[in-house]
Amino acid sequence: MNEPATGGVPALLRGKRVAIVGAGPCGLTLARLLQQRGADVRVLELESSTSARNQGGSLDLHEDSGQLALRRAGLHEKFLAACRPEGQAIRVVDKHGQMFIDLQPKDEAETRPEIDRGVLRGLLIDSLNADTIQWGQQIESVERSAEGALRLVLASGSHMEADLLFGCDGAWSKVRPFVSTTQPYYCGMTTVETWIASVDARHPRLAELVGPGIFLATGDDKALIAQRNGDGNIRVYVTFRAPEDWSQRCGFAFNQLDAARQGLLKVFAGWAPHLCELLKAADVFIPRSLYTHPPRQAAWLARSNVTLLGDAAHVMPFFTGRGVNLAMLDAAELADNLTSGRFPDLDRAIRAYETSMRNRMASEISDTLADQDVFISRDAPAGIDELLRRRIQAGRQRKGTSPGAGVRDS
């Protein structure tokens, strides 16, 4: 439950009905930060409940973004109690299983502990007032009411009105067309998500192979990215370069496990047998095409009471692990602009957030797309060691220490 607001509701939010679309980490973080200051906040979520679907794998939260947002939200101690510092470990091998990188948490100056998506989401939900989230609400469109308020048209045929609207509803946001005509585009990569349940008991060799954090086997323009989760499962992202419609034209159905397994094993023909065990042990296969926004987007429409955050504003592939961190940073920055008293009106508070966010994301998306071409390449894992070394060096320069030992010299 949220703590009572202190010092009264900030002027820019006083008497305003705030609607946030999307109950992911971004939308929930924004709701928490605004509700702390006494704002009237509602979160509209398409899912029918917290347990409506599997929430996905593990997230590494960075000091300068995800953890910063949780500190501002007063939730950092609860995060530290729930996270897994050992999940920061990274192992990288080639398609034959030869070890190239064995990076331990102690090798890095900055902490990026892992937390399961479901655990983080639960932590944020529990911090909100009980009636904040309205489950099972599908947004069809956004329009202006005759009185000038924002009207959210729902699939049920009803509607609700709001004075402020923040779209945190992912790459295919229903709020986005109200702000921008730029749409995400396919980044050239397809991933098939799968997981292996109760891995320690059922597949101890795979548990040992993956270790406590991230395991990456890569080469030939494809990769097996395995991730230890806190629930005793391993989540695997089977990733490769392919046409956008590959999952429709591959010749097998993903809901037929044996056929999907054999089809993917053919994609990874010639890879070490012990690496292919990650496919043979998989319990489900879910194909996903990966999308991104351009690093620099066309100008957004000037809206004094609507904006976008997270993937709705700047979706990008997952290779750097920055996506959720930058989404939570968006929430922290927007909330600060709306509540700090530094801006005289909503228009300038939102424009300042958008300018900062879009400038930040131009380099972030460019770097992520460049990293994608290193992680998933014909010559991989060549180049990954240098990429990680630069990241470690940058972190250690900020902390005033020397490079990490876990990335071997070429």
Residue 8 banded pLDDT, cuts 50, 70, 90: confident
Domain ranges in the chain are 11-85+112-184+294-375, 185-292
Q: Is the pLDDT of residue 54 over 80?
A: no
pLDDT value for 395: 73
pLDDT in tens, 144-154: 877 777 999 99
What's the pTM?
A: 0.93
Those residues with Cβ within 8 angstroms of residue 246's Cβ, 6 or more apart along the chain or in another chain: 190, 287, 289
Q: Is the pLDDT of residue 5 over 50?
A: no
Residue 319 banded pLDDT, cuts 50, 70, 90: confident
pLDDT value for 396: 73
Residue 7 banded pLDDT, cuts 50, 70, 90: low
Of 371, 369, 391, 366, the residue nearest 381 (C-alpha): 371
Q: Is the pLDDT of residue 404 over 70?
A: no
Mean pLDDT, the chain, rounded, equals: 91
Residue 55 banded pLDDT, cuts 50, 70, 90: low
pLDDT value for 302: 85
Strand 58-60 versus strand 114-116 pairing type: antiparallel
Q: Is the pLDDT of residue 406 over 60?
A: no
> Which fold would CATH assign to domain 185-292?
D-Amino Acid Oxidase; Chain A, domain 2 (3.30.9)
| CB-based burial, 303-334: b 16+ in 10 Å, e otherwise | bebbbbbbbbbbbbbbbbbbbbbbbbbbbbbb
pLDDT in tens, 247-258: 999 999 999 999
Residue 306 in contact with residue 165, Cβ under 8 Å? Answer: yes
CATH of 11-85+112-184+294-375, one of 3.50.50.60, 1.10.287.610, 2.40.30.170, 3.30.530.20: 3.50.50.60
